[in-house]
Structure 1
Amino acid sequence: GEEFINEVSTIGRIHHVNVVQLVGFSSEGSKRALVYEYMPNGSLDKYIFSPSGTRHRPSYFTWDKLNDIALGVARGIDYLHRGCDMQILHFDIKPQNILLDQNFTPKISDFGLAKLYPKEYGLVSMSAARGTIGYIAPELISRNFGVISDKSDVYSFGMLLLEMAGGRRNVDQKVENSSQVYYPSWIYDQLAPGKELEINNSIEIGDAERKLCIVGLWCIQMKSSSRPSMSEVIEMLEGDLKSLHMPPRPCFASSQPISVRQSCMDSSLSELSIISEHDELS
């Protein structure tokens, strides 16, 4: 259908080390297939999530490796936004759509929801929200949060960074402490000056982890105009932790324990406030 044709036409334009390569495709009647380069290490989610919700990383999957993966994904998104003849907005950045090759080089995949726009277009028109709930930018649901643009992918990338840093999903009702249900809120308070930051009851984390958290929080600012561009995100990830400042508190973040059903969006959006990586909007 339309999604299949969209993915073929979009990814056929792309040639970047951090974007999965389309090898071929087949379309015969109702049978359609896309053939991509083989990614032997699967998707990123299996390395940062475990069924129990605790951190699940092989010993060789170090913080330096996580930072390299974060940088690779950022460079891939930046290429989509600025490196092609048309601007490509992905609209579905999440761990399940980041594939890893034999060297754990990250490759952005799944362009079924992507949209192409001339680079000179400042505004993006869209008749319906698209993306995965939990990663979808607020402006895709309500224009009160800003215009739809490349900053919508920045928001999704920020949620991805926080999940990489925390080793857990951004919303997890299984945690023992209710204040930790919404991870971005909890981690913001943990980053307060003078606090020893611990993630998942582990030892105090270092600069690499702290950097991922701070950059992630910048990316998930509710107003799209308050988020950095992907090129600025790359500079932040490549730079020194000392050069980073704490962002304003994201609208969802609160010093009080919250439930998954609470949000700063208007009540008409309440049906979207339970966040699940399995629920997609198209």
Structure 2
Amino acid sequence: MITSFAAAFVSVIGTVMALLYVRRKFGSVPLLFCRRSHMEISRHVESFLRSYGSQILRRYSYSEVRKMTNSFKSKLGQGGYGSVYKGKLLDGRHVAVKVLSKSKGDGEEFMNEVASIGRTSHVNIVTLLGYCFEGQKRALIYEFMPNGSLEKFIFAEEDLEHPKLDWETQYQIALGIARGLEYLHRGCNTRILHFDIKPHNILLDEDFHPKVSDFGLAKLCPKKESIISMSDPRGTIGYIAPEVVCRTIGRVSHKSDVYSYGMMVLEIVGGRKNVNTGADRSSEIYFPNWIYKRVQLFEDPGLRGISNEEDKEKAMKMVLVSLWCIQTDPSNRPTMSQVVDMLQGSLESLQMPPRPYLSSPPRSPPESPTTYQLSS
């Protein structure tokens, strides 16, 4: 029998799927804008590029893009906004070239990428090197990340090509992503909210240092402001903060990225998707609920690859921080700066968070948090 928690989860997921279907089918832009001619859209994007992109990013012609990718010979992956190919610049540097889908004619995702990461510089944010815009032909040129996306390293079962990472590496990846998000939220002149944090959008360099990528859904807001208005949900099912779908839960803000981060780190810890519809027992369908119960009762969570106390401590820190990040009420979640401090601090200093609920937040105050300590 499915628990009430799982039922609430299914209800929310159903709502998200319906809303995202409407968005994909009808678009999120006003009807008048959708009716713009290709020429009007091109003028709009060109005006934007003069303001944001032309001074700091190199502009490539489409023929140059074809040449650097060897006519799109080596495909690295496929995303919601287009395909990514491996390329090589004239100076010998390898690059990743994202060729955007023609169906996204309004140019929103293209402009989001240029405006958001075109002026950023951080070790945990992927570097945008240039772009191509020739009417319907649009591409973005990024630094090349040899190890690809985080996704293939945490969901692989017995994949010899992409073995499960050790706990020190997983911990450093979680910390690096937190630092990248902290920079987006606090280190830029304009606050950048990503809205699509998930393993697929975290890239790894040759040393497995993580970099946040894919800013097609990003929103920019003044640095002093944190609350933003949104006309429709954006993000990926399984990582979307509850307030993005149901505004009665709370206001959409940088705390929405915190929620997505927490859900992603739980998947890193568990080595599985947070929702497992094939689980034998209903209690194991939703991993955050399952892991919370185990930690609350000081039971062994049975995480793979833990061979010593150091691994155990890193794993427990990642679990507790994640459970704080996925609190239903945004005001109960930490900021990304606090997440960095929590990960770098001692396990003994972390408190057991209240149980996160996907339905509306409880009316009564949450139970008093207790300090979590390693069992011997």
**Normalised by the shorter chain, which TM-score bucket?**
0.7 to 0.9
Alignment-derived partner of residue 163 in structure 2: 58
Q: Are 1:30 and 2:136 matched, yes or no? A: yes
**Aligned-residue RMSD, C-alpha:** 2.1
| Percentage of matched positions with identical amino acids | 54
Alignment of 1:1-282 (within 5 A): 1-50=107-156, 58=163, 61-199=165-303, 206-252=312-358, 264=359
Q: Is the 8 A contact 2:167 2:306 kept in 1?
A: no
What is the CA–CA distance in structure 1 between the aligned matches of 2:339 and 2:332, rounded to whole Å? 13
What is the CA–CA distance in structure 1 between the aligned matches of 2:343 and 2:305, rounded to whole Å? 25
Query: What does the per-residue CA deviation read over 1:38-71, in whole Å, with 9 as the maximum and x for residues that have no partner?
Result: 001000010000268x9x9626x21011010000
Alignment-derived partner of residue 366 in structure 2: none
- AA aligned to 2:146 is P
Query: What does the per-residue CA deviation read over 1:77-127, in whole Å, with 9 as the maximum and x for residues that have no partner?
Result: 000000000000000000000000111110000000001100122421111
**How far off is 1:195 after superposition?**
1.6
What is the CA–CA distance in structure 2 between the aligned matches of 1:176 and 1:202, rounded to whole Å? 24
What is the CA–CA distance in structure 1 between the aligned matches of 2:170 and 2:109, rounded to whole Å? 31
What is the CA–CA distance in structure 2 between the aligned matches of 1:14 and 1:28, rounded to whole Å? 24
Q: Is the 8 A contact 2:239 2:263 kept in 1?
A: yes
What is the CA–CA distance in structure 2 between the aligned matches of 1:202 and 1:70, rounded to whole Å? 17
Q: Which has the larger radius of gyration?
A: 2
**How far off is 1:177 after superposition?**
2.5
**How far off is 1:196 after superposition?**
2.1
Alpha-carbon spacing, 1:68–1:51, altered in 2? closer, same or farther (3 Å): closer
What is the CA–CA distance in structure 2 between the aligned matches of 1:77 and 1:135, rounded to whole Å? 15
What is the CA–CA distance in structure 1 between the aligned matches of 2:271 and 2:182, rounded to whole Å? 24
Q: Identify which of structures 1 and 2 has the higher relative contact order when contacts are C-alpha pairs closer than 8 Å and 6+ apart.
A: 1
What is the CA–CA distance in structure 1 between the aligned matches of 2:305 and 2:206, rounded to whole Å? 31
What is the CA–CA distance in structure 2 between the aligned matches of 1:68 and 1:203, rounded to whole Å? 17
What is the CA–CA distance in structure 1 between the aligned matches of 2:307 and 2:276, rounded to whole Å? 21
Alignment-derived partner of residue 64 in structure 2: none
**How far off is 1:197 after superposition?**
2.3
- AA aligned to 1:58 is P
**How far off is 1:35 after superposition?**
0.5
What is the CA–CA distance in structure 2 between the aligned matches of 1:177 and 1:219, rounded to whole Å? 26
Query: What does the per-residue CA deviation read over 1:122-151, in whole Å, with 9 as the maximum and x for residues that have no partner?
Result: 421111111111100011011111111110
Instruction: Provide runs of 4+ in structure 1 moved above 2 Å.
Output: 56-59, 175-178, 199-205
- AA aligned to 2:131 is F
**How far off is 1:203 after superposition?**
7.7
Q: Which moved more, 1:14-23 or 1:172-181?
A: 172-181
What is the CA–CA distance in structure 2 between the aligned matches of 1:196 and 1:6, rounded to whole Å? 44
**How far off is 1:174 after superposition?**
1.6
- AA aligned to 2:334 is P
- AA aligned to 1:6 is N
Alignment-derived partner of residue 269 in structure 1: none
Helix, strand or coil at the partner of 2:129: strand
What is the CA–CA distance in structure 1 between the aligned matches of 2:268 and 2:112, rounded to whole Å? 29
Calculate the TM-score normalised by the size of structure 2: 0.64
